[in-house]
Structure formats: C-alpha cells, structure tokens
Amino acid sequence: MGSEPGELYELHLERDEIELLNEPVLLVALDGYIDAGSGVRLAVEHLLAAQPHTVIATFDIDQLIDYRARRPILTYQQNAFTDYQQPELQVRVLTDTDGTAFLLLSGPEPDTQWERFIAAVGQIADRFAVRLTVGLMAIPMGVPHTRPTGMSSHATRTGLLPDQEDWLGVIQVPGHAVGLMEYRFGQAGRDAIGFAAHVPHYIARSDYPETARTLIQATADATGLLLPTRGLDEAAAKVQAELAKQIQDNAEVAEVVKGLEQQYDAYVSATGQSLLAQSAPLPTADELGAQFEAFLADREPPTS
C-alpha cells in the first residue's frame, strides 16, 4: 500500500475538461457518521436525480473502508449470489439550474487513513481550482418540527458566512472526516464552510425531507448556486401533514412538542436567533425516544 495521497484516487477527465470547470464549489456529503433525518443522504439523492452529472474522480474504496464494520449488501437468490452493492466514494460534476458547474463528493466516510484521504481531496480541490468547499451534516436536537429548521454553520475564516452569535462556546465533539477536512483545509489556506441542520430528536431515525431542503438552500445561499428543491418541498409538506395527524391523535406526544415549541419561542424572543434555548431544560434523547416510540412505529412500514 502506497503512502502518497494521489494513489487513493483516479481522475477521469482530461486537462482541457478540467480547465472548463471555472473554479467550482465542492460539496462534501459523506455518510457513516451522523445523518439525522437522513438529511444528507436525501440531499445527495435529490441533487443527483434533479441534475445531470458525471463521475470525474473515484477513490480506491478497498483502502478506506472496513467491510466488517459496515458490511455491504449481497443479494442471494435461487441458490446463488446475484448482486453486490459495492460501496462507492466518488466526485461528480453537476450543473445548477443556470448551467454553473459544481462538484459533489459523496459516499461512505472512510474508516481509515483520514489524513491521507483529506490530503487527496485537497489535491483534487487544487487540481480543479475549487473556490469553496461546503460540508453537509444533520444532527439531532431538542427542537420542534413545527418551527423553522435551525442550522449550525462554521467556516475556516471570517467573511465566508454572515456574522453570527457564538451560542455554543467551547465544546468537544466526536471526530469525523468532514469536520477534520474543514480544519485541515483552513490550515492550508483553502476556504471551507460547514452546515449542520438541526433535526428534532423524535424523528431523527425517519426520513425528514425538510432537513435536505434546508441544507440545499443554505448551500445555495452561501455559494450563489441555483439549486432545485421542488421535489423536496412536496415531500416535506407531506411529512409535515403526517406529523400533524400523529400529534393530533396522541396527547402525550402533543404535550412534548408543545413544550419544545415554548422553549424555542422563548429563545427566539429573547435573542432573535432561531436556535435552541440553552437555559431551558431539555428532554433527554431517551425520554423523547420513549414518548415517541409508538409514533415512530406507526410511521415505519411493517417488515415482511
């Protein structure tokens, strides 16, 4: 196994094709860490379904993935293995609705060689003259689904994002490749920002299209790209209607949501920030999970 970052990937474009990209934005949307409401996955699926795209770089997945930790799916049918869902970690070039090209790195978060992987992505970013890297994430929070989706945002330098209140102070979080990439890119002088959408605890295990819509819209606002959300708008409205029906039929669930609404509104009224009120006590994840167990069971289709 080599040690050079360039040995981790293969490019599929000629030099003249690379030069035509004109300083694109690079979106980084990896799975395997936190993806509450499947927001990142849904955002990737939506962009790939809505916009034309071409694979321009492929990573050597055998060097980066621990198959025993995340076993890919084999299909067994009629006494034979008939299919294999091979993990793919790729960079694609897409165009927004105005024809502007941008890059999307998606696939499983590497289990190993993070530094080497990040150096490889840095090489690709430099090769394509990437002007800005945007990392996407979705995290569970004690917030109600009946209020606007909150967002944590960060950047490698001031000026990349609008000024915002430092509402968290100093905290330590589990390491993840996207966060480390932003940190290393900042050290190298590359511009990078990150968005983490806030997803209500009680629906973090279910698909929540509003999260994907929020991430895509935040990316569009920060980069100037014109990114479509129409399909997600419709899906989000449908889920909101389902949630309203479930809450109407469950007084205990309605009481929890009401408490979260009061907490949220108190914070917004006091600070003007659409974020979580730190001073109010939050239900724990276990408390929320217990109260919404029946709710989630109703939403999940029965297994055969």
Domain ranges of the chain: 5-228
In 188-229, alpha helices (H): 209-223
Confidence at residue 276, expressed as pLDDT on a 0 to 100 scale: 40
Other CB atoms within a 10 A radius of the CB of residue 178 amount to 24
pLDDT at 30: 97
- Round to whole Å and give the CA distance between 183 and 86: 30
User: How would you classify the pairing of strands 151-155 and 192-200?
Assistant: antiparallel
pLDDT score for 160 = 94
The helix or strand, by DSSP H or E, that contains position 78, with its residue range, turns out to be none
Would you say the C-alpha torsion 211, 213, 214, 220 has a positive or negative sign? positive
Inter-residue contact 152 to 195 (CB < 8 Å): yes
Question: What is the model's pTM?
Answer: 0.86
Are 25 and 102 in contact by the 8 Å Cβ rule? The answer is: yes
Give the number of other Cβ atoms within 10 Å of residue 23's Cβ.
10
DSSP 21: T
Q: Which residue do the tokens 């995290």 mark?
A: 139
Residues near 268 by beta carbon (within 8 Å), at least 6 away in sequence: 274
Per-residue pLDDT of the chain (304 residues; tens, 9 = 90+): 568 999 999 999 876 677 678 899 999 999 988 999 999 999 999 999 999 999 999 999 999 999 999 899 999 999 999 999 999 999 999 999 999 999 999 999 999 999 999 999 999 999 999 999 999 999 998 889 999 888 899 999 999 998 877 766 788 888 999 999 999 999 999 999 999 999 998 899 999 999 999 999 999 999 999 999 999 999 999 999 999 998 888 888 888 889 888 888 887 777 655 544 333 334 444 444 444 444 444 445 544 4
Structural contact between residues 200 and 144, judged by C-beta atoms closer than 8 angstroms = yes
Give the pLDDT confidence score for residue 139 in this predicted structure: 94
Evaluate whether the domain defined by 5-228 bears CATH number 3.40.50.720: no
DSSP strand pairing (9-11 vs 53-59): antiparallel
- How confident is the model at residue 234, as a pLDDT? 94
Separation CA 232–CA 253 (nearest Å): 26
